[in-house]
Amino acid sequence: MEKLAVLGCGVVGSGVVELFEKNKALIQKRCGKKVEMGYILDLRDFPDRPYADKLVKDIQVILNDPDVTVVAECMGGIDPAFDFVKSCLEAGKSVATSNKELVAARGDILLKKAKEHNCNFFFEASVGGAIPIIRPLHKCLAANEFSAIAGILNGTTNFILNKMIKENMDFAAALALAQEKGYADKDPTADVEGFDACRKICILSSLAFGKHVYPESVYTKGIRDVELRDTKICGLLGYAIKLIARVQKLENGKILPAVMPMAVEEDNLLSQVNGVYNAVMVRGDGIGKAMFYGRGAGKFPTASAVLGDMIEELQLDHTIPSQTWENVHDNDFIENFASFSAKYYFRTSSTDIAVLNEVFGQIGEQIICTDDGETVFLTENPLNERELDAAVKALAQKGVQVLAQYPILES
Amino acid sequence: MEKLAVLGCGVVGSGVVELFEKNKALIQKRCGKKVEMGYILDLRDFPDRPYADKLVKDIQVILNDPDVTVVAECMGGIDPAFDFVKSCLEAGKSVATSNKELVAARGDILLKKAKEHNCNFFFEASVGGAIPIIRPLHKCLAANEFSAIAGILNGTTNFILNKMIKENMDFAAALALAQEKGYADKDPTADVEGFDACRKICILSSLAFGKHVYPESVYTKGIRDVELRDTKICGLLGYAIKLIARVQKLENGKILPAVMPMAVEEDNLLSQVNGVYNAVMVRGDGIGKAMFYGRGAGKFPTASAVLGDMIEELQLDHTIPSQTWENVHDNDFIENFASFSAKYYFRTSSTDIAVLNEVFGQIGEQIICTDDGETVFLTENPLNERELDAAVKALAQKGVQVLAQYPILES
């Protein structure tokens, strides 16, 4: 009988084991074959768990058992996850991972390894938790040339922004609540600074456009500076400030990935994604646009995605050509962020409309004067980074400060 | 070189040919092999089309060519589509169809045929047009026991309801506009009466719960009686009336599929699905809930789904165990609609609250009196069909008419 193995018995790993045991009969039916949980690798002991007899501490036990055909990697981090996954693939055992750090940093190497050994490196769980997005992108939508992807890919920051928007909490209070509820780590840097969302848009960009996009090549700005005042005013204007991870294909053939807080119009479903939920909007020449929505994290949602990969692998006997991307040594296909262009929301320290008109042209109907010496407005035309810089400098020369600025997500 | 064939050169069929030719290089790369468009079957001539040389009128040409491995069925209807698809499968050629009528009526037979001949009968395009939902259900979410599915699966009726809700058009005017725009047929029965949505929920129910659900076993009510007055009042209460196709698994193990207009709370993303878009919300024990959103129809969106199936087949050399369901001869697994239970929106011909309280218990805070002799309220507790009937009769005995009633979609 074929056996599964799980590396790492933390939240996700134990979820994989428990969900598998719960729905074993159903899963076997859907696979079309008998399969059992063979091993769970962890250096810790869990003597009270029902699956304690399956715990092993040495990866060799798994590598040496020919009945193990599919392995889940739920350890997180690069080391030793990378070496373990590589060894599994070299032994012809397919791997399903929930580890976005690993995929974003070394996906190209592991995908190549999988192809060489006629097995698969799956990573549905690495982006959007429970949301099916990886398989839809490279299978269901495989006939499309993609033009853009934009998503809310980090539940923690979405929870924080949501509390600011809906319950008037400021950033610090909302972060403290997220930590209290276990949605944010003690050190919330990876979430709050956008690094986690960045890894995920790297994975989606790599898959959609066929070349490995490294996190270092992606402009990334987090939500630490988002002020309650702007979430409120944006709301009045019919926008929600969301941490958006996005990539677009430009007319010159290059792609432009970025992560930053953006103002999202209320007609756009992404603006309605609340709490710890995630969503991904995809544009392609066949489909127009499609959106995928669900729980971005959590024990069983993530385990569901890992097991979905394992179940597919149990039905396969070969590597999947569409699920891969190239390992590239230069970044020529990535456009510099200086070319990023969008309409903007501005809040400035002046109510002198003449000055604002001078710098931005007629700001006209888009203007909203607030009552304490500030002006809020939306630009009528898109600005690129150079134009944005020039405008900010021109205002400064006239003694006007830009207090807040958010690009508006294209609809 | 492997060849594709397309049966039917109507809107969807020609879309498959055109999208394939447009993105051929990309598609070949994703398939990992060379492939070309071999034949297009149609009884009509299209001498001016660039692919005129590929048109054939005899299905035998396709059946007899061993290079044809994957066939798209875009003819619609049962006859001769069923015979043609069956013949292809018997010849070991996999089929991808956009024909929901065929899948809902004969899916069980064709899936069995595909398994017997180690090929596949794909139908991603039959539900939700461009939206990836079939493959996510049986692959990505294969580790889940499903508890409920609810969707907006018919773009025509969603367009009509949307015009009523947002633009104050009445049903007749909105239908006429839908016909003018080509969203509704001259004879709009299949859309307006819910039959089209019914076929789609049959397909989703069959796949999610493993047994063929025939349209005849599904309670189906269309939108012809929806009044502008109720779409307006519902809006004020924070609900949108939508044609919902849904199925739930009950505690007794049976499933309860149904299609009907329901009031959807504005916090539910389904209420925000506008125009001709479709969306499907899925609940499972692993994922919690997930939603899939996109264009429900149209030439290229549907072609994208058909080609996605064809591209997967080109990467496969065997049948997929998870994509199937049983052919069953009784309907014991389907609960009678009499057991359906929901909270309700009511509009009645009386402002005598005492009478309403007598029949429904305290309707209390949920009440909204309108100014011309009617009362609108939401029930605090769910009612099943028997309780609903009893309440309507009790009101009638007191001289009060129920002018409108809508079940509220469970959140």
**Closest-CA distance of chain B to residue A301, Å:** 4
Kind plus residue range of the DSSP H or E element containing A280? strand A277-284
What confidence tens digit (pLDDT) does each residue in A135-153 have? 999 999 999 999 999 999 9
**Closest-CA distance of chain A to residue B300, Å:** 5
Residue A79, exposed/middle/buried by CB under 10 A (0-12, 13-18, 19+)?
A: exposed
Provide the CATH topology of domain B340-407.
Alpha-Beta Plaits (3.30.70)
What confidence tens digit (pLDDT) does each residue in B1-52 have? 999 999 999 999 999 999 999 999 999 999 999 999 999 999 999 999 999 9
**Contact state of B140 with A143 under an 8 Å Cβ cutoff:** no
What confidence tens digit (pLDDT) does each residue in B279-299 have? 999 999 999 999 999 999 999
Q: How confident is the prediction for chain B on average, in pLDDT?
A: 94
Are the C-beta atoms of residues B13 and B80 closer than 8 Å to each other? no
How do A219-220 and A255-265 pair as beta strands?
Answer: parallel
- Substitution target from B24, B140, B277, B281 for chain A, most A beta carbons within 10 A: B140
**Closest-CA distance of chain B to residue A98, Å:** 14
What confidence tens digit (pLDDT) does each residue in A198-254 have? 999 999 999 999 999 999 999 999 999 999 999 999 999 999 999 999 999 999 999
Q: Cβ contacts (< 8 Å) between A27 and chain B: which residues?
A: 142-143
Indicate if A340-407 has the same CATH topology as A135-295: no
Contacts of B146 (CB under 8 A, 6+ apart): B137, B208, B209, B249, B282, B283, B284
- Using DSSP's 3-state secondary structure scheme, residue A180 falls into helix
The answer on pLDDT for A352 being more than 90 is no
Q: Which tokens hold the place of B280?
A: 């499907």
Q: Cβ contacts (< 8 Å) between A318 and chain B: which residues?
A: 317
**Contact state of A139 with B293 under an 8 Å Cβ cutoff:** no
**Contact state of B135 with A138 under an 8 Å Cβ cutoff:** no
Which among A200, A242, A254, A393 is annotated as catalytic?
A200
CATH number belonging to domain B2-130+300-315: 3.40.50.720
**Closest-CA distance of chain A to residue B283, Å:** 10
Contacts of A18 (CB under 8 A, 6+ apart): A300, A303
**Contact state of B311 with A139 under an 8 Å Cβ cutoff:** yes
**Contact state of B321 with A315 under an 8 Å Cβ cutoff:** yes
Option in B19, B298, B321 nearest A143 (CB): B19
Kind plus residue range of the DSSP H or E element containing B331? none
Q: Cβ contacts (< 8 Å) between B326 and chain A: which residues?
A: none
Q: Cβ contacts (< 8 Å) between A322 and chain B: which residues?
A: 30-32, 311, 315
Beta-bridge partners for B211: B326
Provide DSSP, A118-136. Answer: T--EE-GGGSSTTS--HHI
| Active centre residues of B (catalytic) | 200
What confidence tens digit (pLDDT) does each residue in B9-22 have? 999 999 999 999 99
- Which chain B residue has its CA at the smallest distance from A297's CA? B287
The answer on pLDDT for A403 being more than 80 is yes
Whole-angstrom Cα distance, residue B224 to residue B396?
A: 24
Beta-bridge partners for A152: A279
Provide DSSP, A22-36. Answer: HTHHHHHHHHTS-EE
Angle at B210 between CA B208 and CA B216, to 5 degrees: 90
**Contact state of B27 with A320 under an 8 Å Cβ cutoff:** no
- Which chain A residue has its CA at the smallest distance from B292's CA? A292
- Which chain A residue has its CA at the smallest distance from B301's CA? A287
Predicted pLDDT at B355:
86
- Which chain B residue has its CA at the smallest distance from A290's CA? B294
Q: Cβ contacts (< 8 Å) between B12 and chain A: which residues?
A: none
**Contact state of A26 with B272 under an 8 Å Cβ cutoff:** no
- Which chain B residue has its CA at the smallest distance from A302's CA? B287
- Beta-carbon pairs below 8 A across chains A and B: 198
**Contact state of A140 with B308 under an 8 Å Cβ cutoff:** yes
- Which chain B residue has its CA at the smallest distance from A322's CA? B30
Provide the CATH topology of domain A2-130+300-314.
Rossmann fold (3.40.50)
Torsion angle of alpha carbons A112, A115, A121, A122, nearest 10°? 120
Q: Cβ contacts (< 8 Å) between A124 and chain B: which residues?
A: 140
Predicted pLDDT at A34:
95
How do A239-249 and B288-295 pair as beta strands?
Answer: unpaired
Provide DSSP, A74-118. Answer: ---SSTTHHHHHHHHHHTT-EEEE--HHHHHHHHHHHHHHHHHTT
Reply yes or no on whether A289 is catalytic.
no
**Contact state of A301 with B312 under an 8 Å Cβ cutoff:** no
| Positive/negative CA dihedral, B172, B178, B182, B185 | negative
Q: Where are the domains of chain B?
A: 2-130+300-315, 135-295, 340-407
Distances in Å between the alpha carbon of A357 and those of A391, A392, A406, B344?
11, 13, 19, 53
Beta-bridge partners for B359: none
Whole-angstrom Cα distance, residue B8 to residue B6?
A: 6
**Contact state of A20 with B144 under an 8 Å Cβ cutoff:** no
The residue among B274, B262, B294, B297 whose CA lies nearest residue B165 is B274
Evaluate whether the domain defined by B135-295 bears CATH number 3.30.360.10.
Answer: yes
Residue A399, exposed/middle/buried by CB under 10 A (0-12, 13-18, 19+)?
A: exposed
The answer on pLDDT for A280 being more than 90 is yes
Number of Cβ within 10 Å of residue B182's Cβ equals 7
Contacts of B201 (CB under 8 A, 6+ apart): B149, B151, B153, B213, B218, B245, B246, B247, B257, B258, B259
**Closest-CA distance of chain A to residue B313, Å:** 10
The DSSP output letter for B290 is E
Q: Cβ contacts (< 8 Å) between B27 and chain A: which residues?
A: 142-143
Whole-angstrom Cα distance, residue A124 to residue A133?
A: 7
Instruction: Report which of residues B355 and B334 the model is more confident about.
Output: B334
Percentage of chain B lying above the pLDDT 90 cut: 87
What confidence tens digit (pLDDT) does each residue in A361-398 have? 766 566 677 667 899 988 888 999 999 999 999 999 99
How do A341-342 and A383-384 pair as beta strands?
Answer: antiparallel
Is the pTM above the cut of 0.80?
Answer: yes
Name the amino acid, one letter, at B86: K
Option in A29, A267, A287 nearest B294 (CB): A287
Rounded to a whole number, what is the largest CA-CA distance in chain A? Answer: 78
Kind plus residue range of the DSSP H or E element containing A314? helix A299-314
**Closest-CA distance of chain B to residue A368, Å:** 26
Predicted pLDDT at A399:
93
Contacts of B387 (CB under 8 A, 6+ apart): none
The answer on pLDDT for B352 being more than 90 is no
Q: Which tokens hold the place of A271?
A: 């603006």
The answer on pLDDT for A294 being more than 70 is yes
